[in-house]
Amino acid sequence: LLADVSHELRSPMTRLQIALGLIEKSAEQGLSLEKHLHRCEHEIAQLDSMITNVLSLSRMENTFQQAHFENINVKLLLQTAIADAQYLAINNKITINANITENCDIPIDKSLILSALNNVLINAIKHSEQQSSITVTVLKQGKSLFIAVSDCGTGVPDDKLALLFKPFYRVSTARDRETGGTGLGLAIAKQAIDIHQGKISAENNHSGGLTITIELPLDNIYDT
């Protein structure tokens, strides 16, 4: 992970150094600095996001003994996550549809599961086409609760699906550079789900796009 972090930090740092050099050169020639200042702002935001995510991932790797479990209503939790994500989705004219029929309490660490849901939803938003939709579906089956987030993006090659949850893995480096992706969101989501002894997986939809499914155990669940 440290090797990956070092490699990933190098790119925005290099672009930031280049932008600062261009600012210095443009200032000497009396040219506009706005374009280069915007680039600096963008790269600093990227660095901040990456460092924040790395710290979050590191904390989760050491949270197994510190997670605080309490009975949380699944429907209310998902409504909160969807409401937060909709603020980002609206910029791309993306609608998030919720198909939540299950209304039960489940013992979870609320902040960790919210983090997982937020990262999965943000990933779906970033890789969906404008004016498309994302669907969140909840299903209780056997001893598990399944939460599926389906987008209408381009999907992922089948042989790359398992790699989506690896830190810093990106199917398209160029596209993630445009959307501001750091390749850590789904890795953070996986760590949060692992803490709950659950599972997270990805599969391509027959109609196009990708579905990320979270499976949580229903031990000590209480119907409401």
| Catalytic residue positions, numbered | 7
Q: Which of 165, 89, 177 is nearest to 128 (CA)?
A: 89
- Taking CB atoms within 8 Å and a gap of at least 24, the contacts of 82-85 are 82/121, 82/136, 84/118, 84/121, 85/118, 85/121, 85/122, 85/125
**Bridge-partner residues for 106, per DSSP?**
72
Q: Which of 60, 114, 88 is nearest to 180 (CA)?
A: 88
